[in-house]
Amino acid sequence: MNGKRLFIAIIMACGIACKQQQPPQVKERSPRQEFPGLFEAVQSAHVFPDSKTFADCTPQAAPATILQYYAKEQGAAGFSLAGFVHNHFIVPTAAAVHYTTDTGQDVIAHIESLWKVLKREPDTTHTWGSLISLPAPYVVPGGRFREVYYWDSYFTMLGLKESGRTDLIESMIKNFAFLIRTYGFIPNGNRTYYLTRSQPPYFALMLQLLISAKEDRKQELLTTYLDALEKEHHFWMKKPADGKTGEHLVILPDSSVLNRYYDRGNWPREEAWTEDINTAKTSRRRPAEQVYQELRTCAESGWDFSSRWLADGKTLGSIHITDIVPVDLNCLLYNLEMTLGDAYRMKGNTAKALQYEAAAAIRREAILRFCWDPKTGFFRDYDFKKGARTPVLHLGGMYPLFFGIARQGQADSVAMVLKRQFLYPGGLVSTPVETGEQWDAPNGWAPLHWMTISGLLTYKNDSLASDIAGRWARQNIRVFKQTGKLLEKYNVKDTSLPGGGGEYPNQDGFGWTNGVLLKILHMQQEGILNIAKNIDTL
């Protein structure tokens, strides 16, 4: 198939109506828009140690009223900005601030008890707050993350399924479908300041997870959420008017069509306002607005931040994620296209099913062509501006195994690279590079462990999958027994030290760690994983 036909097939799969289907006009205003001047003053003065806190505060009166008070009072003698904020806003607390670990529980019982703590009922939010109300119950990650997060939720759902809480899985899927139908995409999280970007597209995987527990409802579920699946695909596949690379769509020199991350905003993230301003100051060769957009776009990837996105491999100010075709993103979109094909077959529309299946096949060929690196024997991102694969190895390269895209020989090579460059006593580092960013060494993360373990099992590398699962589970449980907490990330190189790096402290709770650990422990009990050392004796 030549380049021109590749492009046409992809656009057909997007649906001819894609160009007519635009997301509804977003009416919600973010805190920066609601409180001009006051918002910048509070963040610049560091009234709260964490920039996200003020973005999550609930105003106690209409924004216009609060701004009138601010204009009147700010010039008065003895005016306290912190006092003003506490008088006019409700300051949020951590997701599980009142929860105390029962140290007599084992880790499975602890996780089971946490579902109630991290669960939120349907929202009845204040008119002026940044929280977007959701119609059904959901589970939050924990700590500073007081709202639902898109890609986090899939890994939390793994544990919910093991706990028999398919009711919560289904209600969270209903919430995500509500967001797609309302905004045309799933925002990073249910906050107004997240409405310029999404996150890695896991909605199809969530639906597949529910179907695996409710096989008798497969046709009903696929047809019920077909519109949401297709709208999400349209969001990622929106074609620029000039037919060139634009927003999430990347047109490569041979006319192959792949995707990148892209945030529409070019101002500092409201939840990291001063941090972004400081980063922009370190990037002297680019306008601040360009740096802000790169930082925001990186937040859409979920990997905020990592050496995989840095032009010099070490400095955040050199971030250039919009130049990069991420291998993991395109594998997720391959799965979305395959799911759409399945859904249309269930509906009896063979023509549409064939369109999406053809698009998925073309995407698979492009992933193998642009992202497989035979020299290192690993899957990499592709820098379409340079016309070359990016230099940093990372666990996003495991997604072609998770989705069965890789050839067997490629999967065998990837396993060898994992053992040589990623594997440490506590599990796998996200990248072998140490930069001080949280998505680099020495940190390991639950979602990347799950994608890796599952991918290895897909290619019958059960021994390495079990070894990795055992190291990760033991590190999770070791820290739990020491601290009573399950954390967002872990130091896997030196297991005596905590995970760290990045722009905020390590959080506890923690949704995706709970979900992946519970899944691993149940797979051990079922004999799917053969974890050598008895983790229950730790």
As a whole number of angstroms, the distance between CA 129 and CA 316 comes to 31
Q: Which of 56, 467, 488, 508 is catalytic?
A: 488
As a whole number of angstroms, the distance between CA 529 and CA 533 comes to 12
* CA distances for 119 relative to 53, 129, 522, angstroms: 20, 20, 22
As a whole number of angstroms, the distance between CA 91 and CA 57 comes to 5
Contact present, 30 and 373 (Cβ < 8 Å): no
Instruction: Domain count for the chain, please give it.
Output: 2
Residues 6+ apart with CB under 8 A from 358: 9, 12, 13
Q: Which residues of 351-366 are buried (b: 16+ CB within 10 A; e: fewer)?
A: ebbebbbbbbbbbbeb
Mean pLDDT of 45-65: 96
Residue 538's pLDDT is 41
pLDDT, tens digit, 9 for 90 and up, residues 373-408: 999 999 999 999 999 999 999 999 999 999 999 999
Q: Is 10 a residue whose pLDDT tops 70?
A: no
State the pLDDT confidence band at 20, using cuts at 50, 70 and 90. Answer: very low
Cα–Cα nearest to 9, from 302, 305, 358:
358
Cα–Cα nearest to 454, from 505, 483, 490, 411:
411
Cα–Cα nearest to 516, from 428, 442, 423, 440:
428
Residue 267's pLDDT is 97
Tell which of 90, 109, 132 closes a domain: 90
Mean pLDDT of 467-471: 97
pLDDT, tens digit, 9 for 90 and up, residues 270-297: 999 999 999 999 987 899 999 999 999 9
Is 106 found in the same domain as 246? yes
Q: Is the pTM of this model over 0.85?
A: yes
Is 270 found in the same domain as 402? yes
Q: For residue 167, indicate whether it is catalytic.
A: no
Q: Is 493 left (phi over 0), alpha (psi -120 to 50) or beta?
A: alpha
The values of phi and psi at residue 160, to 5°, are -60, -40
Q: List the structure tokens of 60.
A: 């106690």
Q: Are strands 388-389 and 372-373 parallel, antiparallel or unpaired?
A: unpaired
Is 251 found in the same domain as 353? yes
Residue with tokens 């998925």: 360
Is 185 found in the same domain as 80? no
Residue 8's pLDDT is 47
Q: For residue 488, indicate whether it is catalytic.
A: yes
Is 325 found in the same domain as 190? yes
* CA distances for 189 relative to 48, 186, 193, 382, angstroms: 21, 8, 9, 27
Is 204 found in the same domain as 298? yes
Between the ranges 127-136, 420-429, 527-536, where is the mean pLDDT highest?
A: 420-429
Is 38 found in the same domain as 104? yes
Q: Is the peptide bond before 305 cis (omega within 30 degrees of 0)?
A: yes
As a whole number of angstroms, the distance between CA 231 and CA 326 comes to 21
Q: Is 68 a residue whose pLDDT tops 50?
A: yes
Q: Is 500 a residue whose pLDDT tops 90?
A: no
**CATH for 524:** 1.50.10.10
Percentage above 70 pLDDT, the chain: 93
As a whole number of angstroms, the distance between CA 11 and CA 6 comes to 9
Is 422 found in the same domain as 386? yes
Q: List the structure tokens of 245.
A: 């690379």
Q: What is the DSSP string of 145-209?
A: B-S-BHHHHHHHHHHHHHTT-HHHHHHHHHHHHHHHHHHSS--SBSBGGGTT---S--HHHHHHH
Tell which of 45, 73, 90 closes a domain: 90
| Helix ranges restricted to H, 383-425 | 399-402, 408-417
Is 253 found in the same domain as 392? yes
Residue 52's pLDDT is 97
Is 416 found in the same domain as 329? yes
pLDDT, tens digit, 9 for 90 and up, residues 194-253: 999 999 999 999 999 999 999 999 999 999 999 999 999 999 999 888 888 999 999 999
Tell which of 48, 75, 90 closes a domain: 90
Q: List the structure tokens of 244.
A: 């060139």
Is 484 found in the same domain as 344? yes
Q: Which of 304, 373, 437, 467 is catalytic?
A: 304
Range of the domain at 68: 58-90
Residue with tokens 């990592």: 306
Is 82 found in the same domain as 175? no
Cα–Cα nearest to 493, from 421, 425, 397, 399:
425
Average pLDDT, the chain: 92
pLDDT, tens digit, 9 for 90 and up, residues 173-204: 999 999 999 999 999 999 999 999 999 999 99
pLDDT, tens digit, 9 for 90 and up, residues 85-113: 999 999 998 766 677 888 778 999 999 99
Residue 96's pLDDT is 65
